Structure 1
Amino acid sequence: MTTAVDMFAGLGGWSTGARDAGVEVLWAANHWPEAVKWHEANHPQTQHVCQDLHQARWELVPSHDLLLASPCCQGHSRARGKGNGNPQHDSSRSTAWAVVSALEFHRPDGGVLENVPEFTQWALYPAWVAAVEALGYQVAPHVVDCADLGVPQHRVRLFLVLTRSRAPLMLQLHRYQHVPAASFLDFNAGKWSPIVRPGRAVATIERVRNARKRFGDQFIMPYYGAGSGLTGRDINRPIGTITTRDRWALVRGDEMRMVSANEALAAQSFGANTLRPNNHKLTMHMAGNAVPPLAGRRVIEAFLEAA
């Protein structure tokens, strides 16, 4: 059986996808105790470590065939990058160098990294690639909308495929039929409130009005943020990107509510049996940072098929 380790494991999107692809995840690490707690709850057979991976003792990490990693993306993301006040050389970007250290010590057959597409625009990206190549790996970037892999969410992400091969390995990723948001949204559940009420933003009411003209009395829409859209979204298409904050609202007639934590996990393709905090904010944070397990599975399956 193929074995793997999961760096920056979070809630376990990579680990769940790997397990579903028939890969045994031997070891997982994250610097946040709460994330490690819930990853361990969902993957009790995996060895867990809570630490800053810059300080990892790689000799204590089991040998493995495949390295899976999602280095911190906040310093690269449009949502929380330089334009939002982060320093140009945000220290979070340096987490990618821990991947180089892990590769150098264990020299696995290959690896797959997930991040935002802006990762390749990082000033140090060419140096990072050069370091990986110096260790004998080829780097093949794939920019993928996870909706094309069957995830019920439009989520464009970068997957970097690392192989010990003569040329970069471009995966043959099959395109799946899009799964609608209606597959996981429950308009008969949850706590609803009137759309028109004291304190409701004028922009929100205007967004509802615009969306109702297009989609009738039942739809979803972005709730906050400049540039988040002036209308809603048809529930018969995938939802937009799930973030670490409450972003998406359901509208039903003259009422609305925010997407629930369980719905956000479903939008990310986590199973209904996924163990999670009994805390909406924490769960949303973990869900928004996660690799969609189904996307992870599809990428890993394509990697194993091509290897």
Structure 2
Amino acid sequence: MSWATAVDLFAGAGGFTAGATQAGVRVLWAANHWQAAVQVHADNHPDTEHSCQDLHQADWSRVPAHDILLASPACQGHSRARGTDRPHHDATRSTAWAVVSCAEFHQPRVIVVENVPEFCRWQLYPVWRQALEALGYQVAPHIIDAADHGVPQHRRRVYIVCTRTRSPLMLSMAPRERVPAASFIRFDAGNWSPIDKPGRADATKARIQSGRQRFGERFVMPYYSSGSGRTGRALSRPIGTITTVDRWGVVDGDRTRMLTAGEYRDAMGFPSTYRLPAKHRDATQMLGNAVCPPVVTDLLTEIRSAA
């Protein structure tokens, strides 16, 4: 199957676009409701047309025709890490219907939708899937861990591949060698502080001590909740899932700090030259919501080969 162009719905920081570009696909148009994210996407993909809008209200006739529809609808309404703002998160589930609306108008050859695995347990998922099938698509969900595609992070997501083929396109992608967290930790960067500083929580100190016993003087660990366990994890394996808020820290002997935005970027598999917003909080939120570019590159390459 040959193709050349794509659009990116709910584009965020631009992971779908970055991965598609690496696969030889030109992303014509990208949209997101958050202006700061649109600006970051435009900074890194200046040849793409951008729109800041609520895609519930999109006029699809103003979107360029394309071969591939890429979309990452809001996941908060499906994720187990929902936070406290449940009514808002419940409302975000309807963003997935923008995929159907765009597909009905443009009828692209391929659709790839990314979300948390719980998306497939959404009460309306069967109806959403039937709507795409009624438009002529074969729907094939794939659960993919980014760590199997050269990303130094365990991040399990569902990639729903929709094609105009005779049967659903079930892909079998060979895993890549796993990349350790040590690949992106910079011990000469960041804002370090003494572990034994006044006010350090006893639970944090206990987690650090437990980590030392298992991993030595250098390791990463979750500062909040249980994360990958109360002892963190070795630098010789991928880090756990990067979230939309600061959560992962690094320990080096008697000092510790949270990860930097640049380390989050590298842990997500973005190029080291990828430009981030100046505000750390904005960068963390965008990256925690992003799609890992290397997964997209591998996925589109395999679809091209298999279709």
Pick the TM interval, shorter chain. Answer: over 0.9
1:96-135 aligned at under 5 Å gives the runs: 96-135=96-135
Preserved CA contact (<8 Å) 2:76 2:89: no
Counterpart secondary structure, 1:11? coil
Deviations 1:34-56 (A, max 9, x none): 10011011111111111000111
Partner of 1:46: 48
- Structure 1 residues 89 and 14, CA, compared in 2 at 3 Å: closer, same or farther? closer
C-alpha distance in 2, partners of 1:233/1:274? 27
Deviations 1:102-136 (A, max 9, x none): 00000000110100000011000011001111111
From 46, 61, 64, the equivalent of 1:62 is 64
1:291 aligns with 2:274: no
Instruction: Write the deviation string for residues 266-294 of structure 1: whole angstroms up to 9, x where unpaired.
Output: 00011111111111111111111100111
1:285 is paired with a residue whose SS is helix
| Cα distance per residue 1:124-170 (max 9 Å; x no partner) | 00110011111110110100111001111000000000011221101
Q: CA deviation at 1:88?
A: 9.7
- CA positional deviation for 1:98: 0.3
The match for 1:265 is 265
CA distance in 2: counterparts of 1:166 and 1:264, whole angstroms: 40
> How much has 1:300 moved relative to structure 2?
1.1
Which position in structure 1 is the counterpart of 2:191? 191
Q: C-alpha displacement at 1:97, in angstroms?
A: 0.2
Decide whether the 8 Å contact of 2:245 with 2:285 is kept in 1: yes
Rounded to whole Å, the distance in 2 between the matches of 1:273 and 1:30 is 22
Unaligned runs of 5+ in 1: none
Matched, 1:180 2:180: yes
Moved more, 21-30 or 274-283: 274-283
- Equivalence for 1:32: 34
* Secondary structure of the structure 1 residue equivalent to 2:86: coil
> Which residue number corresponds to residue 302 of structure 2?
302
* Cα contact 2:82–2:89 (8 A) shared by 1: no
2:156 match: 156
Letter in 2 for 1:107: Q
Measure the CA separation in 2 of the matches of 1:161 and 1:112. Answer: 5
Structure 1, 231-240 or 198-207: larger mean CA deviation:
198-207
Q: Distance in 1 between matches of 2:218 and 2:78?
A: 35
Of 270-279 and 97-106, more deviation after overlay is shown by 270-279
Please report how far the alpha carbon of residue 87 of structure 1 lies from its aligned counterpart in structure 2 after TM superposition: 3.6
Counting aligned pairs with the same residue, the percent is: 58
User: Partners of 1:166 and 1:114 in 2: how far apart?
Assistant: 22
Distance (Å, rounded) in 1 between the aligned partners of 2:92 and 2:276? 25
In structure 2, C-alpha distance between the alignment counterparts of 1:86 and 1:123, rounded to whole Å? 16
**Secondary structure class of the residue paired with 1:90:** helix
The CA distance in 2 between the partners of 1:89 and 1:244, in whole Å, is 14
How far apart, in 2, do the equivalents of 1:198 and 1:94 lie? 47
Alignment check: 8 A CA contact 2:227 2:240 kept = no
Q: Which secondary structure does the structure 1 equivalent of 2:250 belong to? A: strand
Whether the aligned pair in 1 keeps the contact of 2:245 and 2:281 (CA below 8 Å) is: yes
Cα deviation, residue 227, structure 1:
5.3
Alpha-carbon contact 2:74-2:93 (below 8 Å) kept: yes
TM-score by length of structure 1 reads 0.97
SS at match of 2:251: strand
SS across alignment from 2:210? helix
Shift of 1:85: 5.7
Deviation at 1:188, TM superposition (A): 2.3
Q: Matched residues in 1 for 2:227 and 2:261: separation?
A: 24
| 1:139 counterpart residue number | 139
The equivalent residue for 2:255 is 255
Alignment equivalent of 2:12, drawn from 10, 31, 47: 10
Return the alpha-carbon distance in structure 2 between the equivalents of residues 189 and 36 of structure 1.
Answer: 28
Q: Distance in 2 between matches of 1:268 and 1:89?
A: 24
Moved more, 107-116 or 85-94: 85-94
Matches within 5 A, 1:211-250: 211-226=211-226, 229-250=229-250
Q: Distance in 2 between matches of 1:250 and 1:235?
A: 9
Aligned equivalents of 1:2 and 1:169: distance in 2?
20
